[in-house]
Structure 1
Amino acid sequence: MAQQERSARTRAAILRAGAEVFAELGFAGASVSKITRRANLTLGALYFHFESKEHLAREIVRAQPELVMSPAAAGLQGAVDITLEWATRLTQDPLLLAGARLVMDQEYFVRSEEGDSYRQWAGVILPFLHEAHENGELRPEVDVLTLAQLMVNASTGAQMNSQLDSGRRDLPDRIRQMWSLLLPLIATEECAGRVMEALGRREGDSPTIDGNQA
């Protein structure tokens, strides 16, 4: 049991060190030697748990959804909440930061049969959107798969621009702004009003765009 615990701690240390190095240097700039130095471990310890730098990067990307707590809310509110949870935790969790940095480098380490992080995150949001559709929260013409893909693409773009503008400090605000514009277009009037009200409560005031109330 003690050996298993040590092995688990070593693996966690490698994942965290790898995430920190990937977040700082990207996939190309990271190396196994830099990662093991950051973790204060040997190359042998890393290769015991991960056969290559590519394998480590794949594991970090694969674990992304597990790092975001599933919201208590269901349907469209749940979809909104999980994107805001991701945006809020991104600046605090090195594994999520690494995922944000690695998203543009996936061609170097993600196998096509495994699927990339875009499809992975769409799969996280889809159950909430299906539930919203079944509950009559979405407008009849809204296709849930297309909407899930749109949300992932928009959130990815928001975090990239937020990184350039503020080091991602304003990412939660950008996600709230995105939803405040999108909700009236995709949701029934009653549902849009309810979710918009929740957005305002979470912010402490109505979401703003360029300093003006949405």
Structure 2
Amino acid sequence: MVLQNRAKATRGAIIIGAAAVFEEHGYGSASLTQVSEAAGVTKGALYFHFQSKEDLARAVIEDQHRIVLAESESILNEDRPGLTAMIILCRAFGLQLLHEPVVRAGIRLTFEATAFGPPVRGPYEDWIAVMEQLTERAKTELQIRLSVDAAAFARYIVASFTGVQMVSGVLTGRADVMQRIEEMWGILLPGIMHENFHEDPRALSRLISAAIPSPAQSPTVPAP
């Protein structure tokens, strides 16, 4: 058991070290020597867990996806109204980009995946599927207009968020990413909100940067 725990800790340290290297240098310029130095492990220990740089990159992407999924499941289990849950999911992802090096590295590697294999589709497909389900829920709750195509809107939200955080990364190193995500929702909400849902769009978009209310305090859903 002690050896098992030690191996698990070593593997975790390697992934964290690899995330730091991949985030800074990208897949093409990163070396396993840099990773072993960043992780504080020997090359032998690194090769015991990962046979190649490609294996290591895929492990970082998998860990990034695991972190995002865990946070998403936690938010979805709070049973909030659909539209509120969508906004809070974007908030959580934005905070992960600020505070989780593995998430930042995983996102970069998904864009560089063609350098070591086929494009990485899974994380985006999963996120789109969740957003589509929440859009359908928000339509039944009369928060989102019934005319909104749930699948199209889900793809648009994921694409918009991806573009917003990328531009924020280029211009400010993501220092303003939460503000930019809030602006994104501030622009989108007036065009999609149901006519019988009278919540202030600005108040909803401020969920990105404000303290998150408990599910019981979330914006109310009008009766059908």
Residue 188 of structure 1: aligned partner: 194
Amino acid at match of 1:163: G
Alignment CA distance shift 1:125-1:66 (3 Å)? farther
Residue 21 of structure 1: aligned partner: 21
In 2, the alpha carbon distance for the partners of 1:65 and 1:134 equals 29
Q: Displacement, 1:12?
A: 0.6
Residue 32 of structure 1: aligned partner: 32
Residue 219 of structure 2: aligned partner: none
Q: Displacement, 1:201?
A: 5.8
Amino acid at match of 1:149: R
Alignment CA distance shift 1:165-1:75 (3 Å)? same
> SS of the counterpart of 2:19?
helix
Tell me which of 79, 85, 88 is aligned to 1:81.
88
Q: Does 1:168 align with 2:174?
A: yes
Amino acid at match of 1:90: L
Q: Does 1:108 align with 2:115?
A: yes
In 1, the alpha carbon distance for the partners of 2:171 and 2:20 equals 21
Contact between 2:138 and 2:144, CA under 8 Å: does it hold in 1?
Answer: yes
Contact between 2:142 and 2:196, CA under 8 Å: does it hold in 1?
Answer: no
Compute the RMSD of aligned alpha carbons. 2.4
Contact between 1:126 and 1:145, CA under 8 Å: does it hold in 2?
Answer: yes
Alignment CA distance shift 1:99-1:192 (3 Å)? farther
Amino acid at match of 2:99: Q
Contact between 1:58 and 1:110, CA under 8 Å: does it hold in 2?
Answer: no
What is the total number of aligned residue pairs between the two structures?
204
In 2, the alpha carbon distance for the partners of 1:53 and 1:192 equals 52
Amino acid at match of 2:98: T
In 1, the alpha carbon distance for the partners of 2:198 and 2:94 equals 21
Larger RCO (CA under 8 A, 6+ residues apart)? 2
In 2, the alpha carbon distance for the partners of 1:14 and 1:46 equals 7
In 2, the alpha carbon distance for the partners of 1:24 and 1:66 equals 21
Alignment CA distance shift 1:202-1:28 (3 Å)? closer
Tell me which of 146, 151, 157 is aligned to 1:145.
151
Amino acid at match of 1:138: I
In 1, the alpha carbon distance for the partners of 2:198 and 2:36 equals 49
> SS of the counterpart of 2:112?
helix
> Runs of 5+ in structure 2 lacking a partner?
211-224
Q: Displacement, 1:48?
A: 2.5
TM-score by length of 1: 0.83
Alignment CA distance shift 1:81-1:47 (3 Å)? same
TM-score by length of 2: 0.80
Alignment CA distance shift 1:203-1:40 (3 Å)? closer
Residue 46 of structure 1: aligned partner: 46
**Percent of counterpart pairs with the same letter?**
33
Alignment CA distance shift 1:42-1:192 (3 Å)? farther
In 2, the alpha carbon distance for the partners of 1:191 and 1:56 equals 47
Alignment CA distance shift 1:123-1:48 (3 Å)? farther
Amino acid at match of 1:63: D
Range moving further from structure 2, 189-198 or 25-34: 189-198
